[in-house]
Amino acid sequence: MPYMLTILLAKTLRELHVLWSTSLDWASIEGVRPDIVVAEGAERFMIPVPDDAVPVERDAQERYGAELAAARG
């Protein structure tokens, strides 16, 4: 039941915008300028389906290696 998560977040956060869509609405995100964006998607909308064999640590290092190194000091 997706509305249960919406209720929990609405009670927890000062402001909540919920968009029910199969894709991110970048214009809305840019207009609101949120601190956090939470996106949830069903596997049936993912092409291709993610491969669980890819190590998350390696992927993070390849994508964000410079930022991770800078954050460590």
State the DSSP string of 21-72: -SS--HHHHHHH--S-------GGG-SSPPPTTS-HHHHHHHHHHHHHHHHH
Q: What is the tens place of the pLDDT at every residue in 14-26?
A: 999 988 888 889 9
pTM for the model? 0.50
Residue 34 main-chain phi, psi, to 5 deg? -75, 160
pLDDT tens readout for residues 42-52: 777 777 766 77
Alpha carbons 71 and 66: distance in angstroms, whole number: 9
| First vs last C-alpha separation in the chain | 43
- Judged against a pLDDT cut of 90, whether residue 27 lies above it is answered with yes
The predicted model gives 16-37 an average pLDDT of 90
Domain boundaries, the chain: 2-72
